[in-house]
Amino acid sequence: MNRRISTLAGRRRRLDGGLLFGPTPRMQWAHWIAPDLDNTVEIAARVLLVQEQGKNILVMAGADSLLASPPRTCRCQPRVPGLLDSLALRALDENDIDVVVLTHVQAPLCDEMSERIREGEMPRLLFPRARFICGESHWHRARHPHPRDRHVFLSSLVNRLERSGRLSLINTGHCELLGDGWCFHTSDGFTPGQLLPQIELPGGPLLFCGDLIPGTHWLDLEVVSGRDRNAERVIDEKEHLLDHLVAIGGRLFFARDPEVAMVKIMRDRKSRYVPFDHYRTLNRFEG
């Protein structure tokens, strides 16, 4: 099968560095990603575009990129490029997308978007022709969120996905809509039921690791996030998936790393996971 992958760039956002790196000392993580005066760091909103058999498939971590960006209120405001702009650079628009794979449906929003929704202005749902794929167990979490993470599940977005008539829930490692060459791992550490797709490529499989491993710095098993629901579970799941990837000679795709999109992984003599063969962007990569 002729399968090609590319990176798409959504609107980057800033998060509190202490929250993002959890118990990791600030002196250490500030050396990795320099914070601003408010102690926030910039992270990517990277989306994977998979093109195969005439289909355009998006894989994204979280559901915030499903909402149309708010329009500028005046021409003096700078225009911030988003996911649709990145698609346009590849001669595609939102109507060309056939499938959107959601690792989870958490949707942490920027302050501007949150304010508009509080005022009753719900942005439209993008990709009007696409089928949406989500894990069944995670969808239950989204419909009935725990008080601890209720704020990152946008009920109006969840309801729109459900009412769209285009939502497919899967509870196994296979999805009939995508067919051969796709399989799915399930992770519960960051959020219960997170879906991590593994995609077969000629040079070895690619694992989209979502928010379980946001970027290269989280390859260290001890580096966890304050956003994780179960840090001990995250460590166990990372070790299991990374060992699996090393054994099969696969690659990792990062949704949040501000500099790196894809790497291969090996274990050094101290059993640490070491990235190599770095890619910052991908353009119709066939592996």
- Domain range for residue 62? 3-72+80-279
Domain-embedded: residue 126: yes
Tell me which residue of 194, 181, 176 sits closest to 238, measured CA to CA: 194
Domain-embedded: residue 156: yes
Domain-embedded: residue 95: yes
Domain-embedded: residue 96: yes
Position 74 scores a pLDDT of 59
Domain-embedded: residue 287: no
- Find the DSSP H helices in 44-154: 83-88, 111-118, 136-143
Residues 99, 204 contacting (CB under 8 angstroms): no
pLDDT exceeds 90 at position 12: no
pLDDT exceeds 90 at position 37: yes
Position 110 scores a pLDDT of 66
Domain-embedded: residue 257: yes
The token duo for 241 is 């998936």
Q: What is the mean pLDDT of the chain?
A: 92
Label residues 201-225 b or e (16+ Cβ within 10 Å = b): beeebbbbbbbbbbbbbbbeeebbb
Residues 281, 7 contacting (CB under 8 angstroms): yes
Domain-embedded: residue 285: no
Mean pLDDT calculated for residue range 119-140:
90
Q: How far apart are CA 116 and CA 71, in angstroms?
A: 11
Domain-embedded: residue 237: yes
pTM: 0.94
Domain CATH number, residue 129: 3.60.15.10
Q: Are strands 99-102 and 55-60 parallel, antiparallel or unpaired?
A: parallel
Q: Name the domain count of the chain.
A: 1
Position 109 scores a pLDDT of 72
